[in-house]
Amino acid sequence: MARHIHVVKVHHLTLSFPTRKDPNPKPVLDDVDFGIRDGEILGLIGNSGSGKTMTSLAIAGLLPEGARITGGSIKFQGEDLLTMDPKARRKMLGSDIGMIFQEPSTALDPLMKVGKNLDEVLVVHGIKDPKQRRESIIKMMSTVGFVNPEEIYERYPHQLSGGQRQRVLIAGAALLAPKLLICDEPTSSLDTVTTVQILDLLKDLCRKLHMTILFISHDLSAVRNFCDRVMVMKDGKIIDKDTTSDILNNPKNAYTAELLTSARLDPRMLGIERAHVDYSSSPVLTAKGITAGYRDRGFGKSFENKVLKGVDLEIYPHEILGLIGSSGCGKTTLIRSLLGLLPHTGTATVSGKRTGAVFQDPVSCLNPAHTVKWHLNEALRVYEKKLTNEERMAKIIAALEEAGLNEDFLLRKPHQLSGGQRQRVAIAMCLIMNPGLIIADEPFSSLDASSSAEILKLLTDINRERGTSFLLVTHNIHIIRQIAPRVVVMHDGKICESGLTNEVLSNPKAPATIRLLDAETKLHGA
C-alpha cells in the first residue's frame, strides 16, 4: 500500500441534522477541513457543542441517526470512507480505527470479566485460537502498565478504579494495533495524577505501536505536553490550527486567546478579589474525628471498610477552604458525612446559618420534571413557609439575578439549559436559603473552560459580598492556588497536610501532596 502523508484527510466536511420542518438547518459541522499526519498526536479543542465529538464520530462512521453529511469527503489512507460499503467500513473499526470514550465506568460490560471484555474484540476480528488471544491480551495489558495482568484478566470491571478501567479500554483499543486512535475526552473524569499517567501511556503507545492519535478535549492545558499539533473548533468550524507551542504561547486567533485565558483562570483577568478572612472568629463548621465507612457483609463474617479515619476540619467565616486529594482518598465521603447524608461517628457542628451544597454533575443536579422557578420555590419553602406570593417571586428573582441569570429562565426546564446555566441554578438554590457555608464538590470538572471561569468568578463574588464560606473540593490545584487562602490535603481517609495555600503548595511535606503537585506541573506546566 502506498504510504500517505495523511492517515485521515477530512475534506470540506459539512454535516447537519435536517428535519421535515427545517430541511436546511444550521450545520453542526461547517466546511471542516484538516488532515491527520501519520504518527502524530493531533489535539482537537473546543467548548461543549462546538462539534468536536461529531467530527470524531464522522471519521469512525458512528454518526447518530438523523445526521446527514451534506458535503465533503473523509479519506482514510486514500480510500473514501463515505462511499465505502458499510460492511467493509465496519471491518475497519477496531482494526484500523480505534476509539476510547470519556466515561470508563460504562464502557465495559459489568457482567464480563476484564479479560473476556477484551477477548470479544479479538473474536470479532477473527482470531480463532483462544491461547493466542489470551497471550496477546496479557501482553497488551502489561504494555498499558498493569504489573499483574494475569490477575486483572480475571477481575470484573467494578473491581477496578477509573484509571485502571481507562487502561483496560486503551488496551482493548490498541489490541488490533489500529493506525488511528480517536480519544474522546479520555481523561475528563480522572484526577490529575491518573490523567498524567494515562497521557504518558498514550504517548508511549503512539511511539511503540506507531499509532496516530486524534485527541479531543475541552481542556487546553491537557494538550500542553501531549499533542504535536492542535486545532481549535467553534460553532462547527475549525478556526485555528497550529503547532501546540504556537497555539499556547502565541495564539493568533482572538477566540483561542480567550480560551487560553479562561483555562489559565487568572484572578486578575477574571476580576476575582479575595475576601478577608478573620481566623480569630469562631468557625462556621467544626468537624471532630469524623469516621465513616461501608460495612461489607460476607458469609458469617462482617468487617468494616473504613473510608474516613478520624478527620478534623474547621472552616472560618468568609473563608474558601480548598480540599484536594487524588481519587478514592475519601473527599466525597467526607462531604457526604458533613452534609449528614452518611452515617458517621464524630461530630460536625455548623454554627448559625444553613449549609448549601453544589454538586459535580450539572446534568443530574436539577430535577428534569420541574421548571427553574419550581426548584427555587422548593428551596425557599423549606425554611420560609409564611411568605406571600409576591415576596416569594421577589426572592426567587433576586437569587436568580445574583447567580447571573434573569427572569427569562423562570419557566425553563433543565434540558433547555446549558451545563453552566444549570450549575448557576443550583447555586441560586443555595443562595435563596441564605447559607453560611456552601459545600461545593468539584463544581467545575464537568464544565468547559469558559463556563468554569464564569462559575469560579460567581463563587468568589458570593464569598466576598455575602461573606459565605466555601468548602471547595476539586482536583484542580490551579483553582485552589488562585482563590483559596487555606488548603487541606487528604490521603487515604486522613488529612495528611493542611495550612496556608502558599506554604503548603510551595513547600509540600506529605508525599501525597508532592505527588499531586508533580502531576500538576507535568500537566499544566510550571
Which of 26, 139, 370, 509 is in the footprint of other proteins by CB under 8 A? 370
429 contacts other proteins (rule: CB under 8 A): yes
Binding residues among 383-422 for other proteins as defined by CB under 8 A: 383, 415
CB-wise, 36 or 473, nearer to other proteins?
A: 473
Whole-angstrom distance, CA of residue 440 vs CA of residue 398: 21
Radius of gyration of the chain (CA): 25
Q: Applying CB under 8 A, which part among 86-94, 213-221, 367-375, 490-498 lies near other proteins?
A: 367-375
Q: CB under 8 A: which stretch of 43-51, 207-215, 218-226, 336-344 binds other proteins? A: 336-344
| 64 vs 126, beta carbon nearer other proteins | 64
Contact flag: residue 70 with other proteins (CB under 8 A): no
CB neighbours of residue 200 within 10 Å: 14
Asked if residue 368 binds other proteins (CB under 8 A), the reply is yes
* Shortest Å, Cβ 149 to other proteins: 33
Phi-psi region of 404 (alpha: psi -120 to 50; beta: other; left: phi over 0): left
How large is the angle between the packed helices 389-402 and 372-383, nearest 10 degrees?
Answer: 110
Q: Which of 366, 437, 483, 504 binds other proteins (CB under 8 A)?
A: 366
Among residues 361, 384, 454, 492, which is the contact residue for other proteins, using CB under 8 A? 361
- The distance of Cα 213 from the centroid of its chain, to the nearest Å, equals 20
Q: Among residues 86 and 368, whose Cβ is nearest to other proteins? A: 368
Contact 407, 438 (CB under 8 A): no
Q: Per CB under 8 A, which region of 62-70, 128-136, 181-189, 490-498 contacts other proteins?
A: 62-70
- Find the part of the chain contacting other proteins (CB under 8 A) among 120-128, 190-198, 351-359, 466-474: 351-359
- Site residue total, other proteins (CB under 8 A): 30
Q: Least distance to other proteins from the beta carbon of 128, Å? A: 36
98: left (phi over 0), alpha (psi -120 to 50) or beta: beta
Minimum Å gap between C-beta 58 and other proteins is 15
When asked if residue 369 is in the footprint of other proteins (CB under 8 A), the reply is: yes
Among 238, 399, 405, 426, contact with other proteins (rule: CB under 8 A): 426
Q: Are strands 355-358 and 437-441 parallel, antiparallel or unpaired?
A: parallel
Shortest separation between residue 354's beta carbon and other proteins, angstroms: 8
Q: State the Cα–Cα distance between residues 157 and 168, nearest whole angstrom.
A: 9
- For other proteins, the closer CB: 10 or 335: 335
Q: What count of residues does the chain have?
A: 526
3-state class (DSSP) for residue 443: coil
Half-sphere exposure of 494 (CA within 13 A, CB side): 6
Please identify which residue in 1, 24, 65, 302 interacts with other proteins, judged by CB under 8 A: 65
Check binding of 20 to other proteins (CB under 8 A).
yes
Nearer to other proteins, 148 or 364 (CB): 364
The DSSP element (H or E) to which 462 belongs, if any, is helix 449-466
Which DSSP letter does residue 220 get?
G
Could you tell me which residues are beta bridge partners of residue 214? 42, 182
Q: How far is the CB of 453 from other proteins (least distance, A)?
A: 22
CA pair distance 75, 84, nearest whole angstrom: 10
Q: 302-315 and 285-297: which strand pairing?
A: antiparallel
Q: Which stretch binds other proteins (CB under 8 A): 59-67, 282-290, 303-311, 473-481?
A: 59-67
DSSP H helical segments within 18-72, as ranges?
A: 52-60
367 counts as binding other proteins under rule CB under 8 A: yes
Burial zone of 193 (CB within 10 Å; 0-12 exposed, 13-18 middle, 19+ buried): buried
Q: Site residues (CB under 8 A) for other proteins?
A: 19-20, 64-66, 339-341, 354-357, 359-361, 364-370, 378-379, 382-383, 415, 426, 429, 433
